[in-house]
Amino acid sequence: MTRWNFIQEGDIIDVVAPGYPVQLPEVDGARDFLLRWKLQPRIPKNIIKPHFLHAHEDEMRFAFLKSAIQSKDSRVIWCLRGGYGSNRLLPMLAKLKKPKEPKLLIGISDITSLHTFLIQEWGWSTLHAPLLDRLGRGLVSPKHEKELHKILFGQEKVIEFKKLKALNDQARNIKLLKSRIVGGNLSVLQTTLGTPWQIDTKNSLLFVEDAGERGYRIDKMLEHMRQAGALKQCRGLILGDFIGGKEPGTETNNFKKVFKRWSEDLDIPVFQGLEAGHDVIQRPVPFNTSCVLQQQGGRVLLSIDTGGKA
């Protein structure tokens, strides 16, 4: 594990858009949010350019990301939006020399591709946390914005999750488990399979979440990951928020049945209820840091080291 540096007021924050575009008012909102935190947003002047899929051409999105990675005067790279596009940057990213000093990447969804690369290739710790467009639009509650602020500024060095529920006997029988967490968006993780950056879950707890995927697709993605060996040496599976995915002609999804099936199929512990993903509450989840899962009297406590240092 490579620790990132806590930020301080006045620090420069490099803003990137490796996936989908945002509207200019959302760029302004992201800037205003960082200024409200008394940080210096560094947003490339032409970060958004009309494109049929992405925020910009691949080469320019990578150029902005490269500049953020290699800049000597910033500690954090914060993504504007997810969507789709980060995985197209990985072959170019693989040609870069690992920087001497780690930085903190923040983002969710499509940014899972970058989390996975930085963890596996450079050994960095990253933060699965709200994107800037969401923060800039005021869609994060004051309570959870404050939690994120405390983590980034080093006022909280451990984040606790107390609402996990054990879904199978393997999970219910755990008293103490020490590991690390990797993962992110399930559909993005599936796209890593068979690539040089296939998700490595060895000796790790795998966290997954998704939005807008019907039950059969979630089942299919998990089955693909199992057949590819991605669940073979995993210490456990932690389910975050899965939203949307209503079945045709109904107002409901069948997630409960899918997750019950997988909790019975797998011989690893399966937990549900991590408050992270695409839902209203998007609590920060530190990746590639030490974590401890404890269970007593049916109550589960997951404590995760934020990965920061003074």
So what's the pLDDT on residue 134?
A: 98
Do residues 233 and 123 both lie within one domain? no
Q: Which of the residues 86, 209, 213, 263 is marked catalytic?
A: 209
Joined together, the tokens standing for residue 279 give 């839902």
In the chain (310 residues long), the average pLDDT of successive 10-residue segments reads 95 98 96 98 96 97 98 97 98 97 97 98 98 98 98 98 97 97 98 98 98 98 97 96 96 96 97 98 98 94 97
> In 10 A of CB 226, how many CB atoms?
15
Do residues 186 and 256 both lie within one domain? yes
In whole angstroms, give the CA distance from residue 302 to residue 291: 7
- With vertex at residue 91, the alpha carbon angle to CA 90 and CA 96, rounded to the nearest 5 degrees, is 85
Which residue range is the domain that position 72 belongs to? 4-152
**152, 182, 217 - which closes a domain:** 152
Do residues 137 and 15 both lie within one domain? yes
So what's the pLDDT on residue 229?
A: 96
Residue 141 a catalytic site member:
no
So what's the pLDDT on residue 138?
A: 97
- Least Cα distance to 85 among 132, 17, 30 occurs for 17
Burial class of residue 191, CB neighbours in 10 A (0-12, 13-18, 19+): buried
**In total, how many domains does the chain have?**
2
Q: Which of the residues 109, 125, 204, 263 is marked catalytic?
A: 109
Q: Which of the residues 54, 56, 128, 278 is marked catalytic?
A: 278
In whole angstroms, give the CA distance from residue 222 to residue 243: 16
Residue 224 a catalytic site member:
no
So what's the pLDDT on residue 298?
A: 86
So what's the pLDDT on residue 260?
A: 98
Do residues 41 and 125 both lie within one domain? yes
The CA-atom distances, in angstroms, between 271 and each of 206, 239, 259, 291 are: 10, 6, 10, 15
Do residues 148 and 165 both lie within one domain? no
3-state DSSP assignment of residue 100: coil
- With vertex at residue 137, the alpha carbon angle to CA 133 and CA 142, rounded to the nearest 5 degrees, is 110
Residue 109 a catalytic site member:
yes
**115, 131, 152 - which closes a domain:** 152
Q: According to the 3-state scheme, what is the secondary structure of 111-155? A: HHHHHHHHHHHHCECEEECCCHHHHHCCCCCHHHHHHHHHHHCCC
So what's the pLDDT on residue 251?
A: 87
**125, 152, 179 - which closes a domain:** 152
Do residues 148 and 176 both lie within one domain? no
> In 10 A of CB 171, how many CB atoms?
24
